[in-house]
Amino acid sequence: MSGAGARAAQDTGPPGHRAGMSLFVRMSRGAGCALLVVAAAASCSTGEAGGLDPEVVADDARQARQRWDDGGPADYTFRLGSWCGNRALIGRYDVTVTGGRVTEVEQVPGETAFLDGPREYREAGGTTIDGILDRIEERAGEVTEVSYDERLGYPVKVFLDPIPEAIDDEECYEITRVAAVGD
């Protein structure tokens, strides 16, 4: 299983999306059966113990990076949605990358976001597309879902869960609107 086919759970959606049960089950998969029974009156099933195969995740990330290196623009903009976990990088941001560095960050109008400018974005863990690819490869054992743009290789959706039994340690990202600067 590789590439987009290596996904785990579906249905957590972009920022502002209320995933309800599927998000709760994904977040609490190791938290115990009682929570699942109370929340869903369902049978007890905790899903995959460790998420995806880390070797497959890392290999897919390397292949995606090659596509990004070969076809992605050197200077670009993208929209980053980040919506789970208890951390500062929550919200949707339009990000500009020039010379491999984040040079501009704007909150998406009408969206709840907590950071102002490139420095706060970087300090909160915000990064470039290359940085997100690094994160996927370096933390492959924490990835529970990932999908990539087939043509350019940038990550479209990434879910990381460092401690499956814990709550609010997750990181969820969605990347959209990737374009060369000036397009």
The alpha carbon torsion through 50, 67, 17, 166 (nearest 10 deg) reads: 20
Three-state SS for 132-148 is HHHHHHHCHHHEEEEEE
For residue 151, pLDDT beyond 60 = yes
Nearest to 67 by CA among 138, 127, 148: 148
Count, in order, helices (H) and strands (E) of the chain.
Answer: 5, 6
pLDDT for the residue numbered 51: 64
The whole-number pLDDT of residue 39 equals: 26
pTM, to two decimals: 0.72
Question: Residue 168 has what DSSP assignment?
Answer: S
pLDDT tens, position by position, 160-175: 999 999 999 999 999 9
Domain residue ranges of the chain, discontinuous segments joined by +: 3-180
Place 139 in a pLDDT band, splitting at 50, 70 and 90.
Answer: very high
In degrees and rounded to multiples of 5, residue 64 shows phi and psi of -65, -40
Report whether pLDDT(15) > 90. no
- Report pLDDT digits (tens) over 17-63: 333 323 222 333 333 333 322 222 222 222 344 569 999 999 999 99
Give residue-wise pLDDT tens across range 81-114.
Answer: 998 998 899 999 999 999 999 999 999 988 877 8
Express as a percent the part of the chain with pLDDT over 70: 72
pLDDT at 5 over 90: no
The whole-number pLDDT of residue 163 equals 93
Q: Judge contact between 90 and 113, C-beta under 8 A.
A: yes
pLDDT digits (tens, 9 = 90+) for 116-131: 889 999 999 999 999 9
Lookup result for tokens 């070969």: 70
Q: ∠ CA(46), CA(24), CA(64), 5° rounding?
A: 80
